[in-house]
Chains A and B, each alone.
Chain A
């Protein structure tokens, strides 16, 4: 459980909030590069950390992320004309560049310099790995660009999607580090999903539904190790990475792509779930890409033209009670992503953590909250840069491996937990 004040502290990320300040210490994914496919293409509404923004790509290919609303009368610039290196409000013709600087106010004489006195809030927007990243903190504290391995490998080796999740970011993220739910909620998918099936490690999972957990602090967050019995007294370890505030990497299976998530607040009651798949040493195959686009693995099918999952709360997640009864899926909801999201959304937009009854196997969640609270306090009280900002904290990998019983995973997987170019992931 958390006290109410702690729950509020961690779940509120708008401007001026402590957790909002923390999120504004990082480069965070804002939108897919494909959403702004060409110069002068239509702008895209982006809501992040409870701020309504507008992304656009100007005539020279520069990206901008600015306040959505015209400084004149508060009209949405989404209706604007993206032309000649700027976005022009269609109401009275005020025009802005990618920095939010107003560069033209047709009703005022050019010589008056009036336009120079108008500037919308703006944030940098930079393409890395097919994703447009933004930094919403103070310019003087802007960190180096993100170095997550999935955005630094060649584009042919990586694939990312995003979907709207109708919950606060924290309960979505906590699902990502809650390793003990996998043996139940997702048990039907290990042997059927094309992005998981066939790995030897799956059998260890299915043969031992009561793993033993070890939670170890890392420089950037946590290593969450799940230990199951393997042959000859050895242990099968699955080690999840959590890097603050909301990056997770799921342990790989066989030679399948490695995957994980970012959970980024849209506002306090909605978040973006970013889902990536990549392989450090090989291209993703056509079959893998087709499966990902078809919503397999950790991805989803969409309501056409949106990032809203096709199975959503408005259609009861297309729950199939017959499939549930027959054991084809444990919950009746199809697909790992929506199996998680359906349950997390059922908790309400912001779950009341004063009511929960955590148990010992929830220590990963307890530790993550502890680290977040500590980091927020250090940032607020002393201006300490939070873990996860440092690029070294981002160059990490999850791992799945079999170790002798007397070898701690922190030793046996030491090298495997670091991202190294052209080195294959540790996977079983």
Chain B
């Protein structure tokens, strides 16, 4: 006689897995922190995402702009977020990371830092951006292809 584990892990038993939805939509805020990132985020925003909204950092750093140019408070956006994705290019222009990261930290919102455009960038420029992102990111991704961010968003059901 088969053990419970043997029987239940068979392909045949997979048919009886509960099909009801097992998660609520998560709200993801994607924020471009500099010019290089803005181009990536604008392209990404055209992807028809259901649960993601897209912004650019601005000054003063407690505000954001949506892609139509409307201003909004960092605090309000973070309050509504399950995950904040901070996107920055090389060169250390991600100054807004601190203000946004602090807001996320206060509200215990998960952050992912994403460095784009690294393929042709000098290493010290990538490092300077990393130094800005690292204190405020609970996950950092450095991908040679910016399209990875699309796959990440899909994987996270954005």
A residues at B contact (CB < 8 Å): 1-2, 166, 212-217, 269, 313-317, 342, 345-350, 352, 355, 357-363, 366-367, 369-370, 373-374, 405-406, 408, 410-411
19 example contacts (A-B, Cβ-Cβ < 8 A) are as follows: A1-B155, A212-B139, A215-B141, A215-B142, A217-B142, A217-B144, A313-B9, A316-B5, A348-B10, A352-B14, A355-B22, A359-B110, A360-B139, A361-B139, A363-B112, A367-B148, A370-B151, A373-B151, A374-B145
Which A residues touch B11, using CB under 8 A? 269, 348-350
Which A residues touch B112, using CB under 8 A? 360, 363
- List B residues 127-149 near A (Cβ within 8 Å): 127, 130-131, 134, 137-145, 148
Q: Do A406 and B9 touch (CB < 8 A)?
A: no
Q: Of all chain A residues, which has the CB nearest B13?
A: A348
CB distance from B108 to the nearest CB of A (A): 12
Q: Is B83 on the interface with A (CB-CB < 8 A)?
A: yes
Which B residues touch A359, using CB under 8 A? 110, 156
Selected from B23, B130, B139, the residue in CB contact (under 8 A) with A408 is: B130
Interface contacts beyond A212-B138, A217-B143: sample of 15 additional A-B pairs, CB < 8 Å, sorted by A? A2-B155, A213-B139, A214-B140, A214-B141, A215-B142, A217-B144, A313-B3, A315-B3, A348-B11, A360-B83, A361-B139, A363-B112, A366-B151, A367-B141, A410-B142
Q: Of all chain B residues, which has the CB nearest A213?
A: B139
Q: Is B6 on the interface with A (CB-CB < 8 A)?
A: yes
Q: Of all chain A residues, which has the CB nearest B145?
A: A374
Which A residues touch B151, using CB under 8 A? 366, 369-370, 373
CB distance from B121 to the nearest CB of A (A): 13
CB distance from A376 to the nearest CB of B (A): 14
Q: Of all chain A residues, which has the CB nearest B124?
A: A411
Which A residues touch B137, using CB under 8 A? 212
Bound-complex Cα distance A215 to B138 (A): 11
Q: Of all chain A residues, which has the CB nearest B113?
A: A214
Q: Do A348 and B14 touch (CB < 8 A)?
A: yes
B residues at A contact (CB < 8 Å): 2-6, 8-11, 13-14, 17, 22-23, 83, 110-112, 123, 126-127, 130-131, 134, 137-145, 148, 151-152, 154-157
Contacts A166-B9, A370-B148, A411-B123; is A214 near B155 (CB within 8 Å)?
A: no
Bound-complex Cα distance A352 to B3 (A): 23
CB distance from A136 to the nearest CB of B (A): 25
Q: Of all chain A residues, which has the CB nearest B140?
A: A214
CB distance from A228 to the nearest CB of B (A): 13
Which B residues touch A313, using CB under 8 A? 3, 5-6, 9
Bound-complex Cα distance A362 to B139 (A): 9
CB distance from B30 to the nearest CB of A (A): 13
Q: Do A346 and B138 touch (CB < 8 A)?
A: no
Which B residues touch A346, using CB under 8 A? 5, 8-9
Q: Do B3 and A314 touch (CB < 8 A)?
A: yes
Q: Do A408 and B127 touch (CB < 8 A)?
A: yes
Bound-complex Cα distance A249 to B9 (A): 28
Q: Of all chain B residues, which has the CB nearest A217?
A: B144
Which B residues touch A314, using CB under 8 A? 2-3, 5-6
Selected from A217, A355, A358, the residue in CB contact (under 8 A) with B155 is: A358
Which A residues touch B123, using CB under 8 A? 410-411
Q: Of all chain B residues, which has the CB nearest A353?
A: B155
Contacts A212-B139, A369-B151; is A357 near B157 (CB within 8 Å)?
A: yes
CB distance from A359 to the nearest CB of B (A): 7
Contacts A359-B156, A367-B143, A411-B127; is A349 near B9 (CB within 8 Å)?
A: yes
Q: Do B22 and A357 touch (CB < 8 A)?
A: yes
CB distance from A236 to the nearest CB of B (A): 15
Q: Of all chain A residues, which has the CB nearest B14?
A: A348
CB distance from A204 to the nearest CB of B (A): 17
Q: Do B4 and A316 touch (CB < 8 A)?
A: yes
Contacts A367-B148, A370-B151, A411-B123; is A348 near B139 (CB within 8 Å)?
A: no
Q: Of all chain A residues, which has the CB nearest B154?
A: A1
The 9 closest A-B pairs by CB, nearest first: A214-B140, A313-B5, A313-B6, A370-B151, A366-B155, A216-B142, A348-B14, A360-B139, A316-B5
Q: Do B140 and A366 touch (CB < 8 A)?
A: no
Q: Do B131 and A406 touch (CB < 8 A)?
A: yes
Bound-complex Cα distance A316 to B4 (A): 7
CB distance from B129 to the nearest CB of A (A): 10
Q: Of all chain A residues, which has the CB nearest B110?
A: A360
Which B residues touch A352, using CB under 8 A? 14, 17
Which B residues touch A350, using CB under 8 A? 11
Q: Of all chain B residues, which has the CB nearest A223?
A: B142
Q: Do B127 and A360 touch (CB < 8 A)?
A: no
Which A residues touch B156, using CB under 8 A? 358-360
Q: Of all chain B residues, which has the CB nearest A319?
A: B5
Bound-complex Cα distance A401 to B29 (A): 34
